Amino acid sequence: MSMWWHRAKAADKQYLVPNRLADVLALIQVLALDEHAHRSEAGLNSELQGSPKSGGTWTDIARMHPEFFRVHTEATHGVSLVSRHVLPKDEQGIRRLPSDFVGQLIAAAVDLYDRQVKRSERWTYLVPIWVALLVGVFGLFGVVLKAVFRQD
């Protein structure tokens, strides 16, 4: 149970890694718009002009975001976009996503990022309440102690 809880918590924070959203958006664009539906790590490094800013490799980034990407570790060109991989091929033998769908994928990534940021900040409004509660409890404790020691 604790392993499941830890994984769920880690998955809820993937977009909070600095530069993660930018890397996911870049990866979505390359895998959605390029002629080739499947890419290798070297191909992604070449197309995106370097390694990702938020992790070790583009394959690692894809593996951490199964909501968008599929990684086949044994394949030479093992990284693909889930939604593009399931499409039928057109007359030229290419799987093409409709352009408006690419925009929807990008919007979904931004929405996931926004939700994780909001979730990570939801406790901050409780800080003033806890401080006031602690001050009240210690103040009451002080008044009680003062009353007890005056009776002696």
Helix (H, G, I), strand (E, B) or coil at 38: strand
Domain residues for 135? 126-152
| Per-residue confidence (pLDDT) for residue 6, from 0 to 100 | 45
One domain, residues 11 and 58: yes
The number of beta carbons lying within 10 Å of the beta carbon of residue 83 is: 19
CA 75 to CA 59: how far, in whole Å? Answer: 12
Provide the domain count of the chain. Answer: 2
Mean pLDDT by 10 residues, the chain (152 residues): 49 83 94 87 92 92 94 90 84 82 93 89 79 89 85 60
One domain, residues 65 and 116: yes
| Per-residue confidence (pLDDT) for residue 9, from 0 to 100 | 56
One domain, residues 99 and 135: no
Question: Which run of H or E residues covers position 28?
Answer: helix 20-33
One domain, residues 40 and 20: yes
